[in-house]
Amino acid sequence: MTRTPWIGIIGAGMSGLCIAATLKRAGFDDFTIYEKADKVGGTWRDNTYPGVACDVPSALYQFTFDPNPGWSRLLAPGHEIQGYFERVAGRQGLREHLRLGTNVTKAEHVGGRWHLYAGDTEIDVVDFLVAAAGILHHPRYPDIEGLDDFAGAVFHSARWNHAVPLDGKRVGLIGTGSTGAQILTSLAPRVKRLKVFQRTPQWVFPIINPRVNALPLSVISRLPGAGLAGRLVERSLFEIFIEGVTHDGWQRKFINAMVRANLRTVRDPALRAKLTPDFVPLCRRLILATGYYEAMQRANVDVIVEDIVKVESQGIRTADGVLHEFDVLVLATGFDAQAYIRPTAVIGLDGRTLDEAWKAGPRAYKTVAQPGFPNYFMMMGPHSPVGNFSLTIIAETQANYILRWVREWAAGRIDAVNPIQEAADAFNAELREAAKDTVWATGCRSWYHGADGIPELWPWHPERHQEMLSTLEIDEFEGSSAHA
Ligand code: N01
Ligand 1 near 174 CB (within 6 A): yes
pLDDT value at position 482?
42
| Centroid of ligand 1 to alpha carbon of 277 (angstroms) | 15
| Centroid of ligand 1 to alpha carbon of 387 (angstroms) | 13
Ligand 1 near 285 CB (within 6 A): yes
| Centroid of ligand 1 to alpha carbon of 444 (angstroms) | 14
- Asked whether the beta carbons of 361 and 338 are under 8 A apart, the reply is yes
pLDDT value at position 246?
81
Ligand 1 near 333 CB (within 6 A): yes
In angstroms, the CA 162 to CA 166 distance is 9
Counting from 1 in the atom list of ligand 1, the atom nearest the Cα of 308 is 4
Cis peptide before 50 (omega within 30 of 0): no
DSSP string, 393-429: HHHHHHHHHHHHHHHHHHTTS-S---B-HHHHHHHHH
Q: How far apart are the first and last CA of the chain?
A: 12
CA-nearest residue for atom 46, ligand 1, is: 333
Mean pLDDT by groups of 10 residues along the chain of 484 residues: 94 98 98 98 98 90 93 94 98 98 98 97 98 95 97 98 97 98 97 98 93 59 58 68 86 95 98 97 93 98 98 98 98 96 98 97 97 98 86 96 98 96 98 91 92 90 94 88 40
Buried b (16+ CB within 10 A) or exposed e, 275-285: bebebbbbbbb
| Centroid of ligand 1 to alpha carbon of 174 (angstroms) | 9
pLDDT value at position 212?
82
Ligand 1 near 55 CB (within 6 A): yes
- Asked whether the beta carbons of 384 and 18 are under 8 A apart, the reply is no
In angstroms, the CA 68 to CA 80 distance is 10
pLDDT value at position 481?
46
Tell me which of 80, 197, 274, 333 to substitute to probe ligand 1's pocket, judged by most ligand atoms within 8 Å of the beta carbon.
Answer: 333
Residue type, 144: I
Model confidence, pTM: 0.94
